[in-house]
Structure 1
């Protein structure tokens, strides 16, 4: 099956998104916003590799409550053998106390076929504060007690742990159409701790279409035998924002 070159994909996506630009500019502002991402790499030769990664974000800004949903998927095959398969979901509810302070309620669930865990789930409820609120820059910090539950794939053993969840979200509009994104999360428990970092650079192509380069690191202190503590991902995707 023939795959389209990246240049052709960008051109087709740009033409599609351009048809919606004028309608979006005239539409009244909505409390809903979001984005959809898709990336695909296909290499052939001595080694045939196919990698697909995608993400979907949805956010609602209300007077008292803000909500968001994040979904991510990553699959990779080498010579028709699956080498990576991961799915991640996160949902959050923020109860605003004022312009800066809020109650942060967060739930996450991850299934990584090659991590040694059947699944990893976390729920946390705590305090959030918007340290910076500017037109071109935002920074929010969260601290929350929480609960972690995971299941080992080989033994089917279920582990439960009380944790402290710390989260920092930063975004910076460097220039028109170019933005920098950083999110760091720590889930610290007595039995195990997990640290995540996501760094991204987003550049607008035309209208609502952009390219995004993302580098992610996940570190787990205690992992099953023959599994690595550190997992790294580098992704290049096309992003459509709405």
Structure 2
């Protein structure tokens, strides 16, 4: 698995270098890529509002001594208005493996299945880059430490750094969560959520993003981190290599604290 992850990132870096020398287009002209962050695009908002939507898909199929299929996908829809900036994200991931049974036959079994939904409404405050937001999210993970995890938070966000090629955004606020772990236990309580995102335009056609969010609850600390590199193929298509990690401090004994995923996907923006 480590060698596969390194190979994916090596391929993405090679494509980034090639795209940087071949494509003069500015990646900032496309809608920004984010997770739980709503950022105004660099273009003016036509007639008071506009939608920025991206869809990404990646799939791996193997056969021979090892057979299986894995698919990951994401839809990110952003609605920009004069006073509001709203974002809706849906993601999915599943993996099937072909196994040999005791009688010599072979069958396929699901080894990973995760879906997540989130919706966020951010009100733009008077000072540029500041916002008040409400965020709700739900994760259904059949094989995870928490099979269901829902949270809602409110808070304040601001842009700490804004340069031509870099931005840093942070958010903080209280919230509530409700989770069901793999042992069937139910947990609920108050949380304090903090999040940060770095976006760096590496070249006219490549962008790097690092996002971290942490929810500190009464019985568990839930954190998500994603590192990604996107390279522009043309005006609407990008290739994205990403590594994400989900961590829970309080999990059943038979489960690990951290789940990771390495992906290489095509992203279509419209």
- Asked whether 1:137 is paired with 2:147, we answer no
Matches within 5 A, 1:83-232: 83-98=111-126, 99-155=128-184, 157-232=185-260
CA RMSD of aligned residues (A): 1.6
Instruction: Tell me the secondary structure at the aligned position of residue 42 of structure 1.
Output: strand
CA distance in 2, matches of 1:153, 1:95: 37
- Asked whether 1:50 is paired with 2:69, we answer yes
The structure, 1 or 2, with the larger RCO (C-alpha pairs under 8 Å, 6+ apart) is 2
Summarize the Cα distance change of 1:181–1:108 in structure 2 as closer, same or farther, 3 Å threshold: same
Partner of 2:57: 38
C-alpha contact (below 8 Å) 1:69/1:92 kept by paired residues: yes
- Asked whether 1:239 is paired with 2:267, we answer yes
- Which of 63, 83, 105 does residue 64 from structure 1 map onto? 83
Alignment gaps of 5+ in structure 2: 1-29, 31-44, 99-107
Number of residue pairs matched by the alignment: 215
Partner of 2:4: none
Tell me by how many angstroms 1:135 deviates.
4.1
Cα deviation per residue 1:139-188 (whole Å; 9 max; x = unaligned)? Answer: 21000101010123443x32111110001122111111101111100001
C-alpha contact (below 8 Å) 1:104/1:142 kept by paired residues: no
CA distance in 2, matches of 1:67, 1:116: 30
CA distance in 1, matches of 2:124, 2:164: 20
C-alpha contact (below 8 Å) 1:76/1:84 kept by paired residues: yes
TM-score w.r.t. the length of structure 2 is 0.76
Instruction: Tell me the secondary structure at the aligned position of residue 206 of structure 1.
Output: coil
Alignment gaps of 5+ in structure 1: 1-23
C-alpha contact (below 8 Å) 1:183/1:197 kept by paired residues: yes
C-alpha contact (below 8 Å) 2:137/2:150 kept by paired residues: yes
Partner of 1:7: none
Tell me by how many angstroms 1:225 deviates.
2.6
Which runs of structure 1 show a deviation greater than 3 angstroms over 4 or more consecutive aligned residues?
none
Tell me by how many angstroms 1:116 deviates.
3.8
C-alpha contact (below 8 Å) 1:208/1:241 kept by paired residues: yes
TM-score w.r.t. the length of structure 1 is 0.84
Summarize the Cα distance change of 1:188–1:231 in structure 2 as closer, same or farther, 3 Å threshold: same
